[in-house]
Amino acid sequence: MSASAPRPRRDTRGIVDPAELLSRVRFRRHVPAPELRPYLEHYWLIDWELPEPYASRLVPHPSVNVVFQRYGPPGAPATTASASAEVAGVGLGLFTQRLAGTGRVCGVQFRPGGFRPFAPAWPVSAWTGRRVPLEDVFPDEDAGEDGYGSGKGNGTRNGNGIASTDPLTAVLSPDDDHARVAALDAFLLARGPEPDPAAGQAMELVDLIRSDRTVRRVSRLAAASGLSARSLQRLFADHVGVGPKWVILRYRFHEALERAESAGAADWSALAAELGYSDQAHLVRDFTATIGVPPTAYARAVSVP
């Protein structure tokens, strides 16, 4: 990567107890090809080999992800592992994933609003709260009995009978990160993006929510955008997958989670006001309902070495 190339986000917002996760898995982010950067946050790659199972937890971003994944028992060769690819719509609640044995995941995190140019036939809300096979969203991915899609061409077959043009194989097989990134680039560039001014508008408005703490109400976003509340709802349903109020609440919750991890004995009342909660009790209820424990208990737990 050149010195002038953009770098992927480095924060761990949304990950519950990120230090614990990063101590167990090898996690990286990579920047996509220049043509894809307006639509994507980054690629994320995870590899692990665990002596005992571990449950990772995530409060999802308002983003669609395309996920290529492979799981197998400890020490098993990659050819015997179970592999699949799916589209993960915006997750509405806490997402828990059990990791065990050996595994590899290569994911594409789209910018909120950035997915529909690649799958314009459906509103993004069609995938919200769902994890669906890749071929359900990209019908050219004709999955066979082995669970591998054949891609757009038949290609040649390797010793396992899997098409060499299969994106699942192309993405998951290389041990080199650059080869995996190149395969992800090729997969997406073969499928778009289709020009969509509304998608660009949705991405800009979500960026405004994320960066401007004064946007705490849909009415404030409507005033900033010049759109009515109803038009905002329609735009976000079609291109983000969730409503603008939900996005506002999710981003401020991410910040509360991050503060709980780093602030120790935080002034929760001041933080609630800063993030736009009506009061401290509202913040505590929201946090406890999502994570399972109050913010003070979570802060104590993640501070333990």
Instruction: List, run by run, the mean pLDDT of 10-residue segments along the chain (305 residues).
Output: 61 90 95 97 96 94 97 77 94 94 96 97 97 91 42 36 68 96 97 93 97 90 95 98 96 89 74 85 91 88 69
Please report the pLDDT score of residue 248 as a whole number.
Answer: 94
Q: Is 2 inside any structural domain? A: no
> Which of 142, 167, 189 lies at the terminal end of a domain, its last residue?
189
Summarised one tens digit per residue, pLDDT across range 107-152 is 999 999 999 999 999 999 999 999 999 999 998 754 443 443 433 4
> Which of 189, 210, 240 lies at the terminal end of a domain, its last residue?
189
Q: Is 223 inside any structural domain? A: yes
Left, alpha or beta for 16 (phi > 0: left; psi -120 to 50: alpha)?
Answer: beta
Expressed as residue numbers, the domain containing 237 is: 197-303
> Which of 155, 189, 223 lies at the terminal end of a domain, its last residue?
189
Please report the pLDDT score of residue 152 as a whole number.
Answer: 40
Q: Is 274 inside any structural domain? A: yes
Taken in order 93, 110, 258, 19, the sign of the CA dihedral is positive
Summarised one tens digit per residue, pLDDT across range 63-101 is 999 999 999 888 767 677 789 999 999 999 999 999 999
Q: Is 9 inside any structural domain? A: no
Together in a domain, 134 and 77 = yes
Together in a domain, 175 and 226 = no
d(CA 204, CA 202): 5
